[in-house]
Amino acid sequence: MRIALFTPNLSESRGGASTLEHDLYYHFLKRSSGSNHEFLVYTNNPQGLEVGTMPQNVRLVEFKANSLRWQLLSQFIRGAQDWLLPFRLVNCYSWFEKHLRSEQIQFVYYLTNSFVSCNMPYLYTVLDIEMLVTPGFEEYTINGEFERRHRFYNEIVKKATYVIAANRTGKEQLIKHYCLEEDRILPLPYAAPRFAREGASIKKDTKILTKYNIRSDFVYYPAKIYPHKNHVGVLYGLARLKEKYSIELDAVFSGPDGGNMEHVSSVAKRLGMQNRVHFLGLVPMDDVVQLYKNAKAMSFLSLCGPSNLPSLEALALSCPVINSDVPGAREELEGCAVLVNPFKPDEYADAIMRLLTDECFRNKLIENGIRRIDRWTMSDYVDEIFKCFDLYEQVRRCWP
């Protein structure tokens, strides 16, 4: 079967989606050489994706997006015909659709949530639908964002041949909100990314503290600074830790501003913590590894699930994890992270205190975390994708 992989933004940094995309591509190349399928990889950076000797059944294609004007015009023409007529009189095919047909592609796989219309069977990845599960955040509601996302998923997910969900919780959410048939959804949990697994063997280096002017023990939170990431929850928890146990820890945040940094800074100032909060922005992966290794804990207090990569990164790097007890967290982290109510600073303070004072508990969490990481890898994830290809091939042989 001739299969297209759509991964246009692989060279860009888009947080967890970018990390997942890079790892999927790496393991896909390793797995594809033993496959009978032929693959075309559509990307905006084909030269940058040539890794050593490419498998003979894999070819890179530069993705050429249509102009915004053409995209809007074609969407309008298609939509108007679908609304007014029983069939389309004019088909406005994009460059991508034309190229797929010229290459006789039979199935399309979207590695993450990037999507352009293809008018053929496809496998789509849904990272989350939190605008429906936890809709009260500004980033999900302003400027028509909720309506845009809901329209997008309502069309794209329902039209997909198969859909990948982040885990069983994500699968249940898709069934509930989009009425999908259960056997069309593949619940594939994230696996620890390659940089974290390889970083496990790297020695801890305290020079990272000097580089970023971190002078005290700290907790680490790598996430774009959106409201739903709940960075203020970490600050309230650390303030409660000082008040309750007379222990001060710094907060180190890495990741770009999602529009909420000013508010987080104002909360830190109000709590008297302005000198103990470090905003690092985007940092190199080598530095991320050392920040995990030097942190007393990784605090992922996001109010949204159903899965988050940083917690798995921390487990792979033997950094204890304090994670929000949101839907999906127990499924992935039970027994290898401290799960807390993200709205209760006391729970967070108690969790930090136990990690600082109970070495047996801390070591047990780390051991359980490493076992969790070894139990499911990105190679296992990609193997399931190839099983999906093989399954659909039995359907696709029904027409030329």
Categorize the per-residue pLDDT at 80 as very low, low, confident or very high, splitting at 50, 70 and 90: confident
Query: Which H or E element spans position 354?
Result: helix 345-357
Name the residue among 89, 163, 154, 83 with its Cα closest to residue 123: 163
Q: Which CATH class is domain 2-191+377-396?
A: alpha beta
pLDDT at 285 over 60: yes
Residues in CB range of 252: below 8 A, 6 or more apart? 212, 214, 218, 219, 220, 221, 278, 280, 291, 295
User: Average pLDDT of 300-312?
Assistant: 96
Q: For residue range 313-337, what is the model confidence (pLDDT) as tens digits? A: 999 999 999 999 999 999 999 999 9
pLDDT value at residue 164: 97
Categorize the per-residue pLDDT at 208 as very low, low, confident or very high, splitting at 50, 70 and 90: very high
pLDDT value at residue 352: 98
pLDDT at 15 over 70: no
Percentage of residues in the chain having pLDDT higher than 70: 95
Q: How far apart are CA 378 and CA 83, in angstroms?
A: 43
Categorize the per-residue pLDDT at 89 as very low, low, confident or very high, splitting at 50, 70 and 90: confident
User: Average pLDDT of 45-74?
Assistant: 76
Asked if 295 and 249 count as a contact pair (C-beta separation under 8 A), the reply is no
Residue 247 amino acid letter? I
pLDDT at 5 over 70: yes
pLDDT value at residue 251: 98
Question: What is the chain's mean pLDDT, rounded?
Answer: 92
> Picking from 14-23, 88-97, 208-217, which range would have the lowest pLDDT averaged per residue?
14-23
Q: Which CATH class is domain 194-375?
A: alpha beta
pLDDT value at residue 46: 73
Asked if 311 and 220 count as a contact pair (C-beta separation under 8 A), the reply is no
Q: How far apart are CA 222 and CA 252, in angstroms?
A: 8
Burial (Cβ within 10 Å: 0-12, 13-18, ≥19) of residue 53:
exposed
Strands (E), the chain: 2-6, 38-43, 58-62, 107-110, 122-125, 162-165, 185-187, 218-222, 250-254, 277-281, 297-300, 321-324, 338-340
Q: CA–CA distance from 270 to each of 94, 203, 267 (Å)?
A: 52, 37, 5
Categorize the per-residue pLDDT at 92 as very low, low, confident or very high, splitting at 50, 70 and 90: confident
Q: How far apart are CA 5 and CA 7, in angstroms?
A: 6
Domain boundaries, the chain: 2-191+377-396, 194-375
Q: Which of the two residues, 395 and 10, has the higher pLDDT score? A: 395
pLDDT value at residue 72: 66
Bond from prior residue into 342 cis (ω within 30 degrees of 0) = no
Q: How far apart are CA 400 and CA 396, in angstroms?
A: 8
pTM for this one?
0.92
Q: How far apart are CA 274 and CA 238, in angstroms?
A: 12
Categorize the per-residue pLDDT at 8 as very low, low, confident or very high, splitting at 50, 70 and 90: confident
pLDDT at 65 over 60: yes
- The residue length of the chain stands at 400
* Cα angle, residue 158 at apex, residues 152 and 163 outer, rounded to 5°: 95
3-state secondary structure 296-332: CEEEECCCCCCCCHHHHHHHHCCCCEEEECCCCHHHH
pLDDT value at residue 325: 97
Instruction: For CA atoms 390, 392, 398, 400, give the dihedral sign.
Output: negative
User: Average pLDDT of 233-255?
Assistant: 98
Q: For residue range 154-172, what is the model confidence (pLDDT) as tens digits? A: 989 999 999 999 999 999 9
